[in-house]
Amino acid sequence: YQKNPRFAWGWYYADAEWRKRGSPVSPLASHWQAIALMAYTSQYVYKDFNAAVRVAGRSRQQYRNNFHFKTLHFLLTQALETLRQAQNGQCHRVFRGVRDVRFQARQGQRVRFGQFTSTSLRKETALHFGTDTIFEVHTCHGADIQQFSMYPGEEEVLIPPYETFEVTKVTRDGKRTWIWLHSTGTSSTYNCEWQSGDRTGNSPG
């Protein structure tokens, strides 16, 4: 907290909002997981956190020595796994809109986001935010976090950094690039991630 006042405020804000909503936990394993999801989906945490996750993902040494969000990373990973199990391992068709970044992709390419990536069950949400790139994603490792999101109206599905996808289609519609992704499993290797991104709302990734 002392090293990152913005994160400290984000956690405090998330804890207050969580209590305001009646302190929901189920089906998560702990209240820490619930607050971690709310902190991530707030405006205070995701940007710095995802930037650190992308750097930490380059090597074990980077993660071990220079990554200062290990607890949040662990809580989010466990929360997604718990929610996914509670949702019977359901796959989701989701959408993500990106502003100010036009991603390059080719059909057949294998990629991963390399960070926690917010998407929406509602195409309209992605179209609202995505002036440059729209992703339509078939995810089988992302989980519906609407109950624990700071913005439940976005109907958010959070995709973990280790899920891999095949690019099945790429089209261009005026200014927008449309990219279709289909889940192919998981990977912790460091050679196939996009180097941009933040949250669903207003930034790439």
Catalytic residue among 42, 118, 149, 196: 118
- Closest by alpha carbon to 181, among 131, 133, 132, 125? 133
CA distances for 62 relative to 28, 59, 111, 190, 204, angstroms: 29, 5, 21, 12, 23
| Token reading at 166 | 């095949």
SS3 14: helix
Q: Does the annotation count 17 as an active-site position?
A: no
Q: Does the annotation count 21 as an active-site position?
A: no
Interatomic CA distance for residues 58 and 99, integer angstroms: 25
Interatomic CA distance for residues 113 and 139, integer angstroms: 12
Backbone dihedral angles phi then psi of residue 133, each to the nearest 5 degrees: -135, 135
Catalytic residue among 136, 154, 155, 156: 156
Interatomic CA distance for residues 97 and 119, integer angstroms: 8
Catalytic residue among 54, 84, 96, 112: 96
- Closest by alpha carbon to 13, among 37, 42, 33, 34? 42
Interatomic CA distance for residues 149 and 40, integer angstroms: 8
Q: Does the annotation count 120 as an active-site position?
A: no
At position 172, the amino acid (one-letter code) is R
Q: Which residue numbers are catalytic? A: 96, 118, 156
